[in-house]
Amino acid sequence: MKFCPNCAAILTIKIPADDSRERHVCEACGSIHYQNPRNVVGSIPVYGDQVLLCRRAIEPRHGYWTLPAGFMELGESTSHGAARETLEEAGAVVRVGPLYSLLNVPHAEQVHMFYLATMAYPEFSAGEESLEVALFHEHEIPWGELAFPTVKQTLEWFFADRAAGVLSGEFHVRSRDVLPSERI
Amino acid sequence: MKFCPNCAAILTIKIPADDSRERHVCEACGSIHYQNPRNVVGSIPVYGDQVLLCRRAIEPRHGYWTLPAGFMELGESTSHGAARETLEEAGAVVRVGPLYSLLNVPHAEQVHMFYLATMAYPEFSAGEESLEVALFHEHEIPWGELAFPTVKQTLEWFFADRAAGVLSGEFHVRSRDVLPSERI
């Protein structure tokens, strides 16, 4: 960010009055351009004892498997975004349940949130951003070919919680921070 | 957003290839400038059976009471942001617990998240953005002078859940969407 999106003047990096952090400030029009983390919202689509995964047709991690997820858009809620991404990437209509995991990825300036979701029918198809979409039993999960550490961690938590009978009751959101060293 | 933050050219609003939504696109340098909702992170600071609130020294809602909360910053996690805001606005060091509520505010392009938090000592002080900070028993909460519907809803859920004994065990994140008509 070099130029003011409002007036095209060159931006200054400085700490504004009444602030404690450096911001992109426009000395010409007085605007301050804050930058904040973005939310990636997705689902864990469950059909019976299987989970739906997508193989990515786009970078980063082309060819690797992921839960359906993507950037939250203006004007939608986190759960609507999760349902929308599941429909767009996996062609699956899901009933969205409770928020299951929230993973902070500070080095990527992102927060990843995954909702439990159920599929009434085993109907799905690869969207434009997917090479293929498939249902997996736990023992079939391609652990070595997953796209992102937040997907791997969410699936690990999910299968452990399912085995422990946690998912049918109340539970705290599973949450932790992901480190740069966890990149896969 | 009128000008490209990268090259200062006038931006075009169009649907990029491989996308389905209008974006701010720079025809000069080829960059696409996405806009996404921002997270507001805060806490419910609990000392014994009291909750800590701040009276706002800034707009919007100057003079009204709120839970300590603010925009999540780059490089931090949601829970760290909640602890930071609690320290900055209320001068209170808290131990952050589980995520308690997640409220989508689509018309404001925000997601509000509040963490349960405990105070070891009744020590607090008004930060620059607060006129005063005080501990409240449930019957003392200034319900008619709260700053935001997400704060009101979170406190209503909190006291109901506390009375029902829910908070000491596992629970799903309390979550709903806030409508424009709920503005207070």
φ, ψ at A161 (rounded to 5°): -70, -35
Give chain B positions within 8 Å (CB) of A111.
Answer: 39, 72, 77-78
- The confidence score (pLDDT) of residue A184 equals 80
The domain spans of chain B are: 1-35, 38-179
Q: Which fold has domain A38-179?
A: Nucleoside Triphosphate Pyrophosphohydrolase (3.90.79)
Residue B31: exposure state from Cβ atoms within 10 A (0-12, 13-18, ≥19): middle
Q: Which residue of B has its CA nearest to A17?
A: B128
Percentage with pLDDT > 70 across chain A: 100
Render pLDDT for B103-160 as a digit per residue (tens, 0 to 9): 999 999 999 999 999 999 999 999 999 999 999 999 999 999 999 999 999 999 999 9
Residues B102, B175 contacting (CB under 8 angstroms): yes
Which amino acid type is present at position B149? P
Say if domain A1-35 classifies as CATH 2.20.70.10: yes
Supply angle C-alpha B116, B143, B80, rounded to 5: 25
Within this chain, domains B1-35 and B38-179 share the same CATH topology? no
Render pLDDT for B157-177 as a digit per residue (tens, 0 to 9): 999 999 999 999 999 999 999
Best mutation target among B77, B129, B157 (most A Cβ atoms within 10 Å) is B77
- The confidence score (pLDDT) of residue A18 equals 81
- The confidence score (pLDDT) of residue B183 equals 84
Q: Do A173 and B173 touch (CB under 8 A)?
A: yes
- The confidence score (pLDDT) of residue B180 equals 92
Rounded mean pLDDT for each run of 10 residues along chain A, 184 residues in total? 96 92 96 97 98 97 98 98 98 98 97 98 97 98 98 98 95 96 87
Nearest to A134 by CA among A84, A43, A85, A67: A67
Q: Do A33 and B169 touch (CB under 8 A)?
A: no
Look at residue B18 and tell me whether its pLDDT is greater than 90: no
Best mutation target among A3, A25, A103 (most B Cβ atoms within 10 Å) is A3
Residues A24, A96 contacting (CB under 8 angstroms): no
- Distance (Å, whole) CA B75 – CA A107: 6
Task: Please name the residue that has the structure tokens 């589980």.
Answer: B98
Question: What pTM does this model have?
Answer: 0.96
Q: Do B4 and A3 touch (CB under 8 A)?
A: yes
Residues A23, A15 contacting (CB under 8 angstroms): yes
Render pLDDT for B41-93 as a digit per residue (tens, 0 to 9): 999 999 999 999 999 999 999 999 999 999 999 999 999 999 999 999 999 99
Q: Do A18 and B128 touch (CB under 8 A)?
A: yes
Please indicate if any CB of chain B lies within 8 Å of the CB of A18. yes
